[in-house]
Amino acid sequence: MNHDIESGMRSALRPLAPSEEFSQQLLARVAADPQARQKSYGLMPRIARPLAWWLATSLAACLVLAVGVERHLEQQRSQQSGLEARREVLQALRVTSQKLNLAYEAVKSESTSLPDEKPGD
Amino acid sequence: MNDAACDLLDEYLAKARSGERAALASLVRAHQRTVYSLALRMLGTRDLAEDLTQDVFMQLNGNLSAIESNRHLGFWLRQVTTNRAIDQLRRRSRVQLTSLDEEPELFCAEDGADPLLQRHLRALLSDLSPQARAVLLLRYQEDLDPMDIARTLDMPINTVKSHLKRSLETMREKTGGATLRCEDQPT
């Protein structure tokens, strides 16, 4: 019985040709398609394609590396300038502290050298 | 297809790869029936089938360098057409799937097959799942063996055999086993 169904299917599913109009349109469109042949490689010889791929990949890797190194250096520079600023602030605090100490000593020695004032004198 | 025709198409393929438009047109002419018939019977309407046929040949145009021979070209075209059709069917509902009546009516053909039964079989085909339909089309329209169907659809061979068995059983049940031939029909 399956044999009958199979022969029926073969008869029912004979390949069909598209309309002549569609066929002509299709041929015209395919022939006019600018993407025909080796799309992005254009006229580059087949043997050069792996080389082109490696070259493009290497360039991309170099670019990423360069950006990474630049960022790292920039970070180091900003860290360095931060440390420099901290050193300057500490130095300024040290100088201020010394000056204040000197002033304090001067005021203190001046107050001890003055005679005691007696009330009623 | 005989050896001489195959050799000629291999020659066209080589010329098409080197950019000869006339050779590409000959390849399209040689394979358009296969692609269009698969697309029509998978998708069910002539408009969708024509769109898919055009897309497949445009895709071929950009992939000619990857095609090794005319045999490979046939395999590639069947694979791309069925896969794209299955994807389309998955994306949309079953609304348009029963319009295989767009096929021209076949009157008692030379093999004496019943046109009404043929129409009924095609209608039953459109009720199957996209994968099962693709399997039947590759088997009975393209005359591929189960191993080639499995390769084309990237499907285990046992799945192909099971689709074939179940689909044929369903069709046999739904047609009531009737396979009238022209000479059997009342006049």
User: Would the pLDDT of B154 be above 70?
Assistant: yes
| Span B54-96, pLDDT tens digits | 999 999 988 888 888 988 999 999 999 999 999 999 887 654 4
For residue B161, name the pLDDT band (cuts at 50, 70, 90): very high
- Please provide the CATH number assigned to the domain covering B1-97: 1.10.1740.10
Contact A22 B140 (CB under 8 A): no
A29 touching chain B per CB within 8 A: yes
B15 touching chain A per CB within 8 A: no
Q: Which of B175, B146, B174, B173 is nearest to B162 (CA)?
A: B146
pLDDT of residue B18: 83
Tokens for B108, please give them.
């008692």
- Please provide the CATH number assigned to the domain covering B104-187: 1.10.10.10
pTM reported for the whole predicted model: 0.64
Mean of all residue pLDDT scores within chain B: 82
Chain A residues whose CB is inside 8 A of the B25 CB are 27, 30-31
What is chain B's length? 187
Contact A31 B25 (CB under 8 A): yes
pLDDT of residue B181: 43
| Span A12-26, pLDDT tens digits | 888 888 888 888 888
Q: Which of B22, B20, B17, B89 is nearest to B60 (CA)?
A: B17
- What ipTM does the predicted assembly reach? 0.73
Contact A16 B36 (CB under 8 A): yes
Tokens for B19, please give them.
């950019």
How far from A35 is each of A23, A32, B22, B159, CA to CA, in Å?
20, 9, 16, 38
Query: Do residues B174 and A1 lie in contact, with contact meaning Cβ atoms separated by under 8 Å?
Result: no
For residue A44, name the pLDDT band (cuts at 50, 70, 90): low
pLDDT of residue B76: 95
DSSP secondary structure code for residue B108 in this structure: S
B73 touching chain A per CB within 8 A: no
Question: Measured between alpha carbons, how far is B21 from B145 in angstroms, rounded to an integer?
Answer: 33
| Span B90-131, pLDDT tens digits | 887 654 454 555 555 444 444 556 778 788 888 888 889 999
User: Would the pLDDT of A47 be above 80?
Assistant: no
Domain boundaries, chain B: 1-97, 104-187
Judge residue A107's burial from the number of C-beta atoms within 10 Å of its C-beta, 0-12 exposed, 13-18 middle, 19 or more buried.
Answer: exposed
Report the DSSP beta bridge partners of residue B181: B113
CB proximity list for B155: less than 8 A, separation 6 or greater? B131, B135, B149
Contact B136 A9 (CB under 8 A): yes
| Span B30-44, pLDDT tens digits | 999 999 999 999 998
Calculate mean pLDDT across residues A27-41: 64
Question: Measured between alpha carbons, how far is B146 from B78 in angstroms, rounded to an integer?
Answer: 14
For residue A45, name the pLDDT band (cuts at 50, 70, 90): low
B161 touching chain A per CB within 8 A: no
Inter-chain contacts counted by CB atoms under 8 A, chains A and B: 119
